[in-house]
Structure 1
Amino acid sequence: MHWHIKGAMADAMARLKTSDVAGATAAIRQALAARTRGVGVQPTSKKVAADDDAGAPRLRRLGDILKTLGAQRATYRRFPPASDEATPAADEGDDRFVSRSHRSAAGLLNYKLYVPANLDRELALVVMLHGCTQDPDDFARGTQMNRLADEFGLIVAYPHQPRSGNAQGCWNWFDIRHQQAGSGEPAMLAALGQELAREFKITPGRVFAAGLSAGAAMAEVLAETHPTVFAAVGLHSGLPYRAAHDVISAFAAMKGNGKTAPCIGVQGRRKIIIHGTADATVSRSNGDALFERMRSQNPGSSVVMSEVRSGSRTATRQVLIGPAGEALAEYLLINGAGHAWSGGHRSGTFADPAGPDASREMITFFLR
């Protein structure tokens, strides 16, 4: 391996350790371009000296994943406009969709909050966790959860992960510092859920969390670390709890090679899992593992399967039924779907207009 390739790989490894996926990709591409021209390029960072023999095979695999991430983002960044599609809800300009902040012992958390027009009914709270590179406004546009809020009486909170917390705006689901109840992001998110439940007098058992990709993985962390706060979670293209412990193992988990830890939460928390068979960013095996984990945790349960059709898409629905006939978990595996919010609106990133409608599926499951 040429020296400039080695240096670039070391640079990429250093950047990955700080979650700078974009910087790692750029370093590798620069080095490969230089090798093609037959010239050397100095590494862009001097943070670490790589062990070339031990690191090279792993980094080649990571390079493949980085390319996949870039391709997926380009595919789902914006779908072409459709003239016959209804205009999305005016999120940023709506006086019922406001910016707020919450401070707890775990830290400061900025978020957007949507309050439905009619508050004279039993309300529920949904904490929506965006994916990497997204923000609350983007996620609200793509999922269209605010429209369902008016229909079902939902208070919807969209916490914001700043770039200071993660270079790509990802929730740090893979970091052991953010995988326990007492500190970090899970503690901040749980504190926000509890505070909003008190503010809007929401009945216990009607507080939920949902997310996409890294947001779904963090929602899974909440299910395991704060099961008494969140009665159910919605996991779209997510990963099992503690499938990774750092950035490198996170990439392995995304490929389906993660290791899962024993469940630590109490029995009874409910989960709806949604995944696409064509997801090249987070392997569908993670969805399979999430559902299988629920099955193993509830040995007296049974599974009912059915087929779902939405437009040109088909999906397989598996429902885990408890001894009393309650739906403990649901797994919607969508044929041909990639790494994007199913049934989402074109105005948001990582949103696939083809159904089924993931937002409605989650709310229906939560309120069942």
Structure 2
Amino acid sequence: MLNQDTLREATRLTRAGQLVEATALLQRMFKGEYAPSAASHVPQLIDLPGGVPPNIDLKSNRVGRADLKAPGTTARQHRLLFDRAKDGTWLGLRGVKHGPASIADIVPEGTKFIDGTYINEAGSRTYKLFIPSGYQRGQSHPLVVMLHGCTQSPDDFAAGTRMNFIAEEQNCLVVYPAQPGGANPSKCWNWFRAADQRRDEGEPSLIAGITRQVMCDYSIDPRRVFVAGLSAGGAAAAIMGATYSDLYAAVGIHSGLPYGAATDMPSAFTAMRQGGKGACPAATGPMMPTIVFHGDRDTTVHPDNAAQVVEQAIGATKTQKKVHRGQIPGGHGYTRTTHVDGQREILEHWNIHGASHAWSGGSPAGSYTDGDGPDATKEMLRFFLEHPHAG
């Protein structure tokens, strides 16, 4: 029988940011190698809201709050929690495994996709940088920062979104920071940790540092620097938009969550299942131009999160709302809601009907894509280029 104290200790470790240790503890537990028999073996336990740890609803494969003490269910629920922690589903992505994409699926012929590394006090991160064939030093180019989802890599994310191919048409550079397994066992950006939600600290400082390093090394227009992401990467993009509005001119959030939707693992479960109702208050200053994509059949990150991203982005800005409906031939219908600030459409929310947790309009060469939806990559880049920093 699995020991509930062990699961609580794994939760405590995760909340403290020790994700590798938490995963190792669960692995030992399921092998029967470690099962503390008393709370004295796990000092300083933090009680979870409601007095019980989060569980998984076995019928829907979603997070719930039911009592884990029900006879005959505890072991299965604990094992499913561990399985989801291993493959990234509890933090935002679920799908089939893909082999490595070919270079032809990642970049157009005649372009470059090079490696880089950035280091600061918070640690280091590698990245991949796309340089279009039309790049010229001395000529200002736009830059898009792309944050992958759980279990993904820069190559996989580039292949699935085809962002490099659209960027080649627009003569944009694209940088893909990589989240290593050492920072998160599922390679998720740690959007749910308070320490990784603040400017000039943790992962935001690393992502911003990579952005600035590329801006320093290449001819980048500082008025046209943008950030986008999928799932955990979308939640991280929301954090970057909220904390570095001076650096990024606009943000794209696909199947993500609002800034401050969670501060630890239990609240991450809740936000993903019910929406980020505990998110940070809406901005009171100038609105960050934002484009949001979310499938209305997403059972991994609840679609209500998209509405909360929109509400948070608008803040105190007075806007007029317009609703447009469309249909992809042979694919998904969608509702595109725009918010107009004066004469400019400052925010777009694409609600994709019948779509689940995947990049809309993406390529099967990458993971977690849905080719039946509107082309999120093309629409995001179009939106970005329409919204440079003022001044």
TM-score calculated relative to the size of structure 1 = 0.83
Superposition RMSD in Å: 3.3
CA contact (8 A) 2:361 2:376 kept: yes
- Which amino acid in structure 1 is aligned with residue 376 of structure 2? A
Q: Deviations over 1:269-302 (max 9, x none)?
A: 2110100111111100100111122334312x10
Matches within 5 A, 1:59-70: 59-61=54-56, 64-65=62-63, 66=81, 70=89
Count of aligned pairs: 349
Distance 1:16 1:62, change over 3 A: farther
Q: Deviations over 1:204-255 (max 9, x none)?
A: 3200000001111111101111001000011001111111111221111111
Matches within 5 A, 1:287-366: 287-299=306-318, 301-310=319-328, 311-323=330-342, 325-366=343-384
Distance 2:24 2:333 in 1: 38
- After superposing the two structures, state which structure 1 stretch, 206-215 or 253-262, moved more: 253-262
Match for 1:167 among 163, 175, 185? 185
* Residue of structure 2 equivalent to 1:6: 4
Distance 1:294 1:70, change over 3 A: closer
Distance 1:172 1:347 in 2: 26
Distance 1:44 1:196 in 2: 48
Matches within 5 A, 1:89-238: 89-91=105-107, 96-120=112-136, 122-238=140-256
CA contact (8 A) 1:279 1:338 kept: yes
TM-score calculated relative to the size of structure 2 = 0.79
- Which amino acid in structure 1 is aligned with residue 235 of structure 2? A
SS of equivalent to 2:219: coil
5+ residue gaps, structure 2? 64-80, 387-391
Distance 1:231 1:51, change over 3 A: closer
Q: CA deviation at 1:157?
A: 0.3
SS of equivalent to 2:279: coil
- Which amino acid in structure 2 is aligned with residue 129 of structure 1? L
- After superposing the two structures, state which structure 1 stretch, 229-238 or 310-319, moved more: 310-319
- Which amino acid in structure 1 is aligned with residue 300 of structure 2? T
Distance 1:125 1:252 in 2: 34
Distance 1:91 1:201, change over 3 A: closer
CA contact (8 A) 1:101 1:111 kept: yes
Q: Deviations over 1:310-363 (max 9, x none)?
A: 23200100111002x112111001011111111111121112222211111100
Q: Deviations over 1:44-97 (max 9, x none)?
A: 679737799988743324874347765995545459x9xxxx995354997600
* Residue of structure 1 equivalent to 2:67: none
CA contact (8 A) 1:12 1:27 kept: no
Asked if 1:58 is matched to 2:58, the reply is no
Distance 1:51 1:103, change over 3 A: closer
Q: Deviations over 1:14-58 (max 9, x none)?
A: 564444687688689x59xxxxxxxxx564679737799988743
Distance 2:98 2:367 in 1: 6
Distance 1:25 1:254 in 2: 22
* Residue of structure 2 equivalent to 1:240: 258
Distance 2:48 2:356 in 1: 35
Distance 1:8 1:104 in 2: 35
- After superposing the two structures, state which structure 1 stretch, 89-98 or 357-366, moved more: 89-98
* Residue of structure 2 equivalent to 1:37: none
CA contact (8 A) 1:278 1:338 kept: yes
CA contact (8 A) 1:213 1:282 kept: yes
SS of equivalent to 2:53: helix
Distance 1:92 1:159, change over 3 A: farther
- Which amino acid in structure 2 is aligned with residue 115 of structure 1? I
CA contact (8 A) 1:76 1:352 kept: no
- After superposing the two structures, state which structure 1 stretch, 176-185 or 9-18, moved more: 9-18
* Residue of structure 2 equivalent to 1:282: 301
Distance 1:226 1:74, change over 3 A: closer
Distance 1:179 1:263 in 2: 15
SS of equivalent to 2:211: helix
Distance 1:26 1:15, change over 3 A: farther
Distance 2:48 2:324 in 1: 50
Distance 2:196 2:48 in 1: 32
Distance 1:139 1:113 in 2: 13
Distance 1:87 1:51 in 2: 47
CA contact (8 A) 1:321 1:328 kept: yes
Distance 2:47 2:308 in 1: 34
